[in-house]
Structure 1
Amino acid sequence: MYFFINSNLMFLFFMFIFSTLMSKTSNSWMGCWMGLEINLLSFIPLISNSNNLLNWEASLKYFLSEPIATINFLFSILVILLLVKKFQIYFFFTTLINSSMMMKMGSAPFHFWFPNIVEGMTSLNCFILMSWQKITPMILMSYYINNNFMMLIILINSLIGAIGGINQTSLRKFLSFSSINNLGWMLLSIMISENLFLIYFIMYSFFISIMCFLFYMMNIYLINQLFIFNFNYMMKFLILLILLSMGGLPPFLGYLPKWIIVNFLMIKNLYIITFIFIMISLISLFFYNRKINCWILFNYSKFKWFNVFIKNKFFWYIIFFSLISSLGTIFTTMYFF
């Protein structure tokens, strides 16, 4: 029975990866649509593969929200192929394609399903939804990019992701709004260069994977648990490095792709947009630092209820890889000179 369950999970992971490759390498829009459908049907069993009712609720919400975006995508493609030469409505339906792909990614202003679904998932599924699930919609959206519409969406993503994470007490919702904020930067990076998008996406996926694995290993779901549990200073320093890198604070590694994007905007004389993005980044850094500083400064033993002792060999690997974020000083210095 155990082998049968593991074989089913391996088959689902294989179909999950195959669907992404199918959409990426397809020469027709119908093949891209088939890849999206296979991805949907392979990811839903991964979400609902648990006895927890929250996982079943998340899978149902995901099943209700994703087909809407897929149907809009298919409708837009069919109308463009059949009617665009007659009625000259190319602009409207390219905008509809971009909107359907942004809904699949959980981008603002189509993000209302995203934090609730992330709240009911396991840590592995949260990592997949916030990283791998953005690859196929991002690539398909790059084929038809409406620059003016996309710039407005990028600003909305950054603003909603920064403001929405301020009053969150759930760590998973906190990561979901951080994902929305970073999605705005990823959309801006793919408008500049695909290589820059690849660099940003790899770094973001790296930090998200460490955070999801740490929360799974420590069994933490709420921010209040960070105050209740008695962590050692090494663990505090570890999470401090990762969160500051995700926030893009210099000189950490997460600052490097954001600095390249800001440098490109300055070269193109987009000073107002650059100023807006910097101010929004300061808002996101505010709620990162507020949670981290309060958690580190509250070190009184009478407020601590439990002692956390992690005896896991993977923890030392995570410490090693998280310290890589401190190498951002070296990379940024080399890029500057």
Structure 2
Amino acid sequence: MMINSTLILFYSNMLLGVVLSLSSNNWVMIWMGLELSLMCIIPLMNSSMTTSSECTMKYFIVQSMSSSIFILGVILMMLNYDFYYKMIIMLSMMLKMGVAPFHAWIISLIEGLNYMMMFNLLTIMKIVPMMVIINMNLNLNLIIIYTLIVGAISGLTQNSMSKILTYSSIFNMGFMIYCSNNLSLWFLYFIVYSINLLMISLILMSNNINYLNQFLINKVDLKTKAVIWILMLSSGGMPPLMGFLPKLIVIELSINYNDWVVSLMMITTSLLTMFYYNRLCFLSSLLSSLIMKWKINSLSWLSMNIMIINFLTLPLIILIKYLN
């Protein structure tokens, strides 16, 4: 997609809607910010792909329904009804984010989007709903466990890279929702996850990889495969890469709170996600490559930066954690 004035207008207004919701002190302005972001991301979703218009309509219908449920919860709260308005607002936000068990819509539309729109959908559009969930201050352990299980097990059977990344996002949402009572920890986890997803999206988009079997068919060079492997290991939480420490801190937090069921579920599902990331890497690098493994003479600018970011971020985060 070429950068032009229309693209800049929609992107800036989408970010303006997020900032408007985050800086608001009343529910109506939060709703207005959500709707502004929705109205600006819908034209960006429409691309040359044949299914993009269908995906746009699905997204609009689901988001409109969740906004209606959100307004219903706000009205019940304003009328002082003895009703679970917090649960209604929570339901609308989980539907808006695509958290399990409300995740079927995001899986059905993700195939019709390019990687950058998928990145926007899985990161930027989840900031405001997460802030609303943080302000609700409810115990969501059951939703967290279900989200972790769905994100880990459903990703094992996928062949599409977009669906694998989407189920990985659902899995990571379980961690983010659990640490929602600690804003600084949530921000750290969200930033590390967003950077990792952005790098994966860039490397897959630059090599035009959409399915697992394209690693076997396409002539992806070994340097790119090595970078993809590092990114996948980082997403799964393999030390000493970037994605390891946020998961470790959240699991440590759950142990300190004596949530042993959640802790056990986080560790078990993290192993399952590591399995399907490693399966992808074995397909791409070990089973199908005829190049000698030590013939890596030079890296491209993107590959070099991705490797530097992954290996240096973990010591930096540890330093910041213990300095505080």
TM-score (norm 2): 0.91
Q: Does 1:152 align with 2:150?
A: no
Matched ranges for 1:1-337 at <5 A: 6-48=4-46, 50-84=47-81, 88-89=82-83, 92-147=84-139, 150-191=140-181, 193-299=182-288, 315-327=300-312, 330-331=315-316, 334=319
Deviation at 1:333, TM superposition (A): 6.3
Secondary structure of 2:238's counterpart equals coil
Secondary structure of 2:159's counterpart equals coil
Provide structure 2 residue ranges, at least 5 long, that are not aligned to the other structure. 292-298
**Partners of 1:255 and 1:328 within 8 A in 2:** no
Secondary structure of 1:287's counterpart equals helix
**Partners of 1:72 and 1:97 within 8 A in 2:** yes
Deviation at 1:111, TM superposition (A): 0.5
Q: Match for 1:178: what amino acid?
A: S
Q: Match for 2:310: what amino acid?
A: S
**Partners of 1:108 and 1:160 within 8 A in 2:** yes
Q: Which residue of 2 aligns with 1:307?
A: none
Residues 300, 198 of structure 1: alpha-carbon distance in 2 compared, 3 angstrom cutoff:
closer
Identical counterparts, % of pairs: 31
Provide structure 1 residue ranges, at least 5 long, that are not aligned to the other structure. 303-312
Deviation at 1:332, TM superposition (A): 7.2
**Partners of 2:215 and 2:283 within 8 A in 1:** no
Deviation at 1:196, TM superposition (A): 0.5
Provide the rounded CA distance (Å) in 2 between the counterparts of 1:252 and 1:222.
25
How many residues matched? 315
Deviation at 1:277, TM superposition (A): 1.2
Q: Match for 2:130: what amino acid?
A: M
TM-score (norm 1): 0.88
| Deviation string, structure 1 residues 276-329 (Cα, Å, up to 9, x no partner) | 210111111111112212322223559xxxxxxxxxx9x513431333212366
What's the Cα RMSD here?
2.2
Q: Which residue of 1 aligns with 2:296?
A: none
Provide the rounded CA distance (Å) in 1 between the counterparts of 2:228 and 2:130.
29
Q: Match for 1:114: what amino acid?
A: I
Secondary structure of 2:278's counterpart equals helix
**Partners of 2:21 and 2:31 within 8 A in 1:** yes
